[in-house]
Amino acid sequence: MLSKIENFIRQEKMILPGEKVILALSGGPDSMALLSVLRELADKIGFMIIAAHLNHGLREEADEEARFVEDYCRLQGIPCYVKKEDIKEIAARRKKSLEEAGREERYRFFRELKKELSAHRIATAHHKDDLAETVLHHIIRGTGIKGLRGIMPVNGDLIRPLLAVTRREIEAYLEQKGIPYCIDQSNYEPVYLRNRIRHELIPYLREEFNPRLVEALCQLAYIARIENEVLEEEASKYWQEALRLKEEGKIVLDVPLLSRLHPAYQHRIIIQALKEIRGGEEGDISLKEVMEVAGLLGKTGSSRVLHLSGGVKVNKAYQELIISRKREEVEPYCYQVEIPGEIYVPEQDAFYVFSVTDIDKLDKNGVIAYLDYERLRFPLFIRSRRPGDIFRPRGLKGSKKVKDFFIDEKIPLHERDKIPLLAAEDKIYAILGIRVAEEAAVNNATQKVLVIKKRGK
């Protein structure tokens, strides 16, 4: 199994020599196997492993599992970072399912840690059976060629080395190596669709129709992936040709060019435009919306208008398809901070709590930002962004405009004026919950830390 995974890592160029890899370590069998494999390959390939565990606090065993992960990593000499979040409270506040809120917070934690430690990759323990389940899940919900790809081996900074092996191979490896792990009983609860696919649908299809079902679905995912790459490459060329104008909140496309394209390319260009205007994920855009926009291309005359979800307007004006979003007017805000103390920010519908502690007593649980207290100027303010704001993000050489930083971070336009900055006069020390400025970041000389937490009303 080890050589199979090593070859897969090299084939997909997942990890390069000298890189740091954040490993999402739940303590379950798959992630513990991945930890063992990467530990064995680290010296051979030349990379560093850092374990990360988010305690959701949803089950009685959650604290015990967090301690298990910490203790195991300490014995193995692997750096390990653990954070605890109240996912139940977060899900209720954001009006999302526990599963969705947990996933969002987990990846938020991993990416914050990646920035803080200047890491390069985030490794998760998805394997071939997970890939097969995801393909089936997407088929049941309705999907296109992108959905048939299932889980990507490399997706931006995310890597999945175990996609080279099956669950059975992982179980055999764990037994052979005598590696301990935890069992999450929620993985067996039939209330979740994915669990029913795993424990009911796949066994039935395997027994009744194809004993090599997992391999067949993984083959389908591979074919969809490589064919989609070709379509994406061509669509990106057409996107550049079709794009007449792109500015904040507005994209203009060339109607005659779009009209000549195959519907497959039309749809991809429309999805790209809607995603850039609306923000969020591609999966949030429905086929119905795409078809409605594509339908405008064949309409004669001008002033044809569509009103889509999320405040997006699409209108055809002669030779142009104009996709825009009305910017939500948010009044500028600015609140002075008391330290120690807390302040309610109506624009976030949340309290921000400030305290000062010694660096060796810092507890990162529930913390959205921590800064070197003695490097700050006072008084401090929580405020919205202003035209011309300049920010020097930690880990980045030089400064950039806050506007450009938000674009690079893919923060939707309608959210940017609400996001709180921590500042003293024109000096920005943090974009709260996203990034700390280099000049306020904790370093080896830090003695006192300003700790910032956020809580609901």
Supply the pLDDT for residue 182.
Answer: 93
* Token output for 161: 């080395």
Instruction: Kindly tell me the burial class for residue 66, based on how many C-beta atoms sit within 10 Å of its own C-beta (0-12, 13-18, 19 or more).
Output: buried
Instruction: Check the CA dihedral 266-267-270-271 and report its sign.
Output: negative
Of 38-42, 147-151, 184-188, the least confident? 184-188
The rounded distance, in Å, linking the Cα atoms of 351 and 363 is 19
Amino acid in the structure at residue 355? S
| Listed residue (291, 247, 284, 256) closest to 270, CA to CA | 291
The rounded distance, in Å, linking the Cα atoms of 20 and 42 is 10
* Token output for 157: 């900074």
Percentage of the chain lying above the pLDDT 70 cut = 96
Neighbours of 203 (CB within 10 A): 12
Mean pLDDT along residues 136-160? 93
pTM over 0.85: no
Q: Residue 361 in 3-state DSSP?
A: helix
CB proximity list for 4: less than 8 A, separation 6 or greater: 164, 165
Residue-wise pLDDT for 27-55, tens only, equals 999 999 999 999 999 999 999 999 999 99
Q: Residue 65 in 3-state DSSP?
A: helix
- C-beta of residue 358 within 8 angstroms of C-beta of residue 404: no
| Listed residue (372, 352, 353) closest to 362, CA to CA | 372
Confidence of residue 327 (pLDDT cuts 50, 70, 90): low
The CA-CA-CA angle for residues 293, 295, 300, to 5°, reads 115
- C-beta of residue 285 within 8 angstroms of C-beta of residue 294: no
Higher pLDDT, 82 or 305: 82
Amino acid in the structure at residue 401? K
- C-beta of residue 332 within 8 angstroms of C-beta of residue 383: yes
Mean pLDDT along residues 73-82? 95
Which of 50-54, 144-148, 181-185, 405-409 reaches the highest mean pLDDT? Answer: 50-54
* Token output for 371: 């800064």
